[in-house]
Amino acid sequence: MFLDQNTLYLGIALLILVTSNILLGSINSIFQQQFDKTKLYIGMGKGTLIVVVLIGILFAGKLTPDIASISINNQNINLFTATQLIMYSAYGYYGKEVFAKLTKILTGKYIANDITDSKPIISQDIAPLSDSKTLTDTIIPKENSEAK
């Protein structure tokens, strides 16, 4: 087989994590009432491009394993193994991002931020009641009620 099974599974898992990260970010933007389809499409395009480029580099590294190779502590690292290391790093990074966003959603922090940042329901234009005014006097002034 051209790619080993672990590398294939790593690529699929990385694609799932990137997609999950983008979808959880979209859910966050929906909670914040700032959802933008264009940003979603751009994010999905970037995620797809990253995975396609990594797969292309893996194929290139597998085709030419000995062209560029360095030895670190008696371990040969070529383009293929370097790309695998990058994929493992990306897997760890996106896994952390997904868990962080999921934790914020499950604990309600996105929703709580939306509620605390929103404007108050009662408008600031309504004057507070003084000792001599009643609630009815504030809503319907006496001049208008006597004219009827």
pLDDT per position as a tens digit, 83-94:
888 889 989 999
**Where do the domains of the chain lie?**
5-147
**Could you give the count of Cα atoms lying within 13 Å of 60 in the half-sphere of its Cβ?**
11
pLDDT band at residue 135, thresholds of 50, 70 and 90? very low
Q: Are strands 69-72 and 75-78 parallel, antiparallel or unpaired?
A: antiparallel
Alpha helices of 32-141 — where are they, by DSSP H?
37-63, 79-107, 109-117, 135-139
Classify 70 as helix, strand or coil: strand
Q: How far apart are CA 33 and CA 27, in angstroms?
A: 10
Residue 107: predicted pLDDT? 83
pLDDT at 92: 92
